[in-house]
Amino acid sequence: MTRITFQLHDGTQRTVDVDPDTTLMRAAVDNDVPGINGECNGCATCATCKVQVAESWFDRLPGIDEIEESLLDDAAPRTRLSCQIAITPDLDGLTVAVPISQYA
């Protein structure tokens, strides 16, 4: 189990324990974490699963490919598409912030 903390826009937190073989987006949607849509269901086209990664964690995540980069145009710094982050044991303790809206 990998423990992930989502910081919600209203100041509250949601901590979930996640099995491997999933993605951060799936973990959020399956646990009803509000604010993450995942409209395309993890195909890296819709950009509605954005999260902002805590500074201490950003460089420890797998790299950003060209497609993800082009979908994150104008996004806040340290933003990632959560569907592109595979859950692995070394992400235990990861904290990400969820925006109020994926559509702003």
Partner 1 sequence: MNFITTMQPVPDHVPAELVRNYPFVLGNITSGNPYDRMVHDVHRFAPPVFYAMDAYPGGSPAWVVRRFADLRAIYADDTHFTVKGFAPFAMMIGESWGNVPAEADAPLHDQYRALLNPLFTPAALKKLEAKVTSVAEGLVAKFRDEPAIDFRAAFAVPFPVSIVLDLLGLPLERMDEFMAWEHMLLHDLNMEHLQTATRNVVGLFRDVMKERRVHPGEDLVSFALNARIGDRHLTDDEVVGFCFNLFIGGLDTVTTNLCWQFRHLGNDLELQRTLRANPALIPDAIQEMLRFYSPASTFRTCIKQIEIGGVTIKPGDKVLMATLLGSNDPEQFDHPEEFRIDRRPTHLAFGSGIHHCLGHHLARRELTVAMNTILRELPEFRYDSSVEVLTDLGGVIQPRAVPLLLAAAAGSKGASR
* Sites of contact with partner 1 (CB under 8 A): 35, 37-41, 43, 45-48, 66-67, 69-74, 101-104
Tell the smallest beta-carbon distance from residue 77 to partner 1 (Å): 16
Nearer to partner 1, 91 or 97 (CB): 97
Q: Can you read off the two tokens belonging to residue 87?
A: 């859950």
Q: Which is nearer to partner 1, 12 or 103 (CB)?
A: 103
CB 15 within 8 A of CB 7: no
Within 8 A by CB and 6+ apart from 22, the residues are 30, 86, 87
